[in-house]
Structure 1
Amino acid sequence: MKLRNLMSIGALLAALVAATACGAHGGGKGDGAATPKQVAMNEQQATKRAEEIIHQAVDGMTPRPKLERIGPTPVGACIARDDGGPDDRLQVSLAYKLTGVPGSKAKSLVRQARDAWVKLGYKFQSSDADWSKPFPHVDMRTEPDDFWMDAITGVVDRATGEGLASIGVTSPCFRRSASGQSTAESAALLRTQVDEHAEHQALHHSSRIYDALRAPHAQAHEGKGINAYRDSEGTHVHHTWSTQPLTEEETVQAMARVQAYFQSAGWTVRHAPTESGVPAIIARNVKDDSVAQVAPSTTGAVRVAVTMPVVSVGSAGV
């Protein structure tokens, strides 16, 4: 989950909203791209484990910060599988600001989070942070349960070098709890409750991403298209699709174009590693709280998912 550029305070907080590093957990070494890693857990277990990993990093910190939650909901749908099959998995992602301490301590808090996780045997995603930089960023993962976490700083005051620390954890994808209904029946039930405006917005964002990628759209597969899911926080529209397979050079160029689009349109952007070797983009629209995931796959296709919260008429303007 490499952050290429230093971000402003607003961009940092928005980018760490717990909305899905989906697609970053395609499977461990030796798993094949078309067979995502299966995880035996539910939402409650994933949330409990994510909170545990957060506290493993924070509880021993000096000075001791307070945790301030970032983002409206910790549960999101996973991005579509490489093989185009149906995928109704979910993923938990939690992110917090570390508050109540001087901004000058932000770098120290990130280092302390790193040290706590290393002591527990957790692994770096690639390498340790570059501590010579004023705002280092740590990316790690747990073993053997494969939760991904980061500790990051962002600029609060460029003149003084003051920073803000944030910490986040994302679970592997897991199956929805059995409800006695088939996936199709459940999707149909939720589909009738989808707000048309949210669906229109999700499709609008997907269309703009398609324009930016400039890559042919792949034939639709079962499980792709517009769907909805409901959790304790409400209902969300989830639109997924893929491009046709691209060469590595075409993929790099397409991802650069879509990142330029997100930045020009005011989205906040962060990156996540993929097995293809080209980082995925996870972007958030601060105006409507939608989240877009654009992830290169090992098949050469670029997978796109847009998640849009449904706002009921009664809650509008609240």
Structure 2
Amino acid sequence: MKPRKTFSAAALLVLTVMVTACGAQENHGETAKQVTMNEQQAIDRAEEIIHQAVDVMSPKPALERTGPEAIGPCIARDDHGPDDRLQVTLFYKLTGVPPSEAKNLVLQARDAWLKQGHKYNSSDEKDMSGPFPWVSMRTEPDDFWMEGITGVLDRAKGEGLATLKVRSPCFLPPGKASAASADPAALRTPQADDSATRRVLGHSSRIYDALSVGSAPTQAGEGLSTVRTEAGASVHHTWSTEPLPQGEAVRAMARAQAHFQSAGWSVRRMPATQESVPALVAGHPEERTVAQIAAGATGAVRVAVTTPVEGPPSADV
């Protein structure tokens, strides 16, 4: 099953509000990485990686940053522990150039990152030689992940919109001693009658129905929480299925993807967290709700749903 590698321009905008699961960036079975940096250091490094690609491009595009604040909480951990780490995601559209140049800009980004010594996360020559290439790479040893994406504007004419994204590793802000001890001021149990809580639980219930497999007992760090960052407050709901054989995990993920697509969500399939079991990240087009689904080291499928507290009233369930 191949990751979906092209997006409409509208889908690219939806993806800017997504918070990406830290679990997909960590080796399975390991404890959380004890990376310490502050938010500005993470942003500065991400922007440096963006400019490594953009500054050598021809024609020279303009950078248009899209989406909300860059800081978000890390969720969907493989070890189920509470987590007060943060993660930075920067997302830029490359504008001011003809749409026929989108393919070349993504290829130039790939080549520039390779010259910097960065590594492939995934490589598909068929995709890279097509009209709408996509590439996923990472830095070593600091483990920033980046993507060059070609959004489709006019498939018949081969016109697209080039977008670059850089995501930091999960990091502990200075003064945080451990990723396994959440700050009580940041995490709290939401009220059951809160509209954001009802929204999250409603989506979790529909994902459970779509997966069509049993849920596991609640683990430490799972359940409902509200996380407050400089970007605002969000309600999170995390849970896991029972351990599944690989084939059944693949089928369950396919059912979840079909559910999101039929409901009008924008869906990305991320690099596999287990062999042949790619993770899913889906964004609701109106609510700014994000769902993440990934197979963990035990075979259990981990689900995390997050929504901003200040969501649209019409999205209540």
Q: TM-score when scaled to structure 2?
A: 0.89
Query: Residue type matched to 1:183 in 2?
Result: A
1:97 aligns with 2:93: yes
- Structural mapping, 1:178-193, within 5 Å: 178=175, 183=182, 185-187=184-186, 190-191=188-189
1:283 aligns with 2:282: yes
Which SS does the other structure have where 1:155 is aligned? strand
User: Closer, same or farther in 2 for the Cα pair 1:126/1:8, shift >3 Å?
Assistant: closer
Query: Residue type matched to 1:8 in 2?
Result: S
Query: Residue type matched to 2:103 in 1?
Result: K
User: Closer, same or farther in 2 for the Cα pair 1:167/1:17, shift >3 Å?
Assistant: farther
Q: Distance in 1 between matches of 2:197 and 2:74?
A: 18
Q: Deviations over 1:69-93 (max 9, x none)?
A: 2222322222233232222322111
User: Closer, same or farther in 2 for the Cα pair 1:297/1:233, shift >3 Å?
Assistant: same
Query: 1:165 Cα shift?
Result: 0.5
Q: How many residues align?
A: 308
Which SS does the other structure have where 2:185 is aligned? helix
Kept in 2: contact 1:110–1:153 (CA 8 A)? yes
Deviates more, 1:85-94 or 1:113-122: 85-94
- Structural mapping, 1:221-232, within 5 Å: 221-232=219-230
Query: 1:233 Cα shift?
Result: 1.9
Kept in 2: contact 1:3–1:137 (CA 8 A)? no
Which SS does the other structure have where 2:123 is aligned? coil
Kept in 2: contact 1:23–1:274 (CA 8 A)? no
User: Closer, same or farther in 2 for the Cα pair 1:184/1:72, shift >3 Å?
Assistant: closer
Name 1:108's counterpart in structure 2. Answer: 104
Name 2:262's counterpart in structure 1. Answer: 264
RMSD of Structure 2 on Structure 1 (CA): 2.5
Query: Residue type matched to 1:56 in 2?
Result: Q
Q: Distance in 1 between matches of 2:184 and 2:12?
A: 39
Q: Distance in 2 between matches of 1:60 and 1:204?
A: 47
Query: 1:173 Cα shift?
Result: 1.0
Kept in 2: contact 1:80–1:87 (CA 8 A)? no
Name 2:70's counterpart in structure 1. Answer: 74
Q: Distance in 2 between matches of 1:179 and 1:191?
A: 21
Query: 1:261 Cα shift?
Result: 0.4
Which SS does the other structure have where 1:125 is aligned? strand
Which SS does the other structure have where 1:151 is aligned? strand
Query: Residue type matched to 1:59 in 2?
Result: D
Q: Distance in 1 between matches of 2:192 and 2:186?
A: 11
Match of residue 205, structure 1, among 191, 203, 206: 203
Q: Mark the runs of 5 or more structure 2 residues left unpaired by the alignment.
A: 313-317
Q: Deviations over 1:260-288 (max 9, x none)?
A: 00000010011222431211000100110
1:124 aligns with 2:123: no
Query: 1:172 Cα shift?
Result: 0.9
- Structural mapping, 1:1-318, within 5 Å: 3-4=3-4, 6-27=6-27, 32-127=28-123, 129-130=125-126, 131-178=128-175, 183=182, 185-187=184-186, 190-191=188-189, 196-277=194-275, 278-311=277-310
User: Closer, same or farther in 2 for the Cα pair 1:80/1:312, shift >3 Å?
Assistant: closer
Kept in 2: contact 1:21–1:93 (CA 8 A)? no
Kept in 1: contact 2:265–2:284 (CA 8 A)? yes
Which SS does the other structure have where 1:93 is aligned? strand
Kept in 1: contact 2:190–2:197 (CA 8 A)? no
Q: Distance in 2 between matches of 1:175 and 1:225?
A: 22
Kept in 2: contact 1:79–1:303 (CA 8 A)? no
Q: Distance in 1 between matches of 2:293 and 2:36?
A: 26
Kept in 1: contact 2:290–2:305 (CA 8 A)? yes
Q: TM-score when scaled to structure 1?
A: 0.89
Kept in 1: contact 2:138–2:146 (CA 8 A)? yes
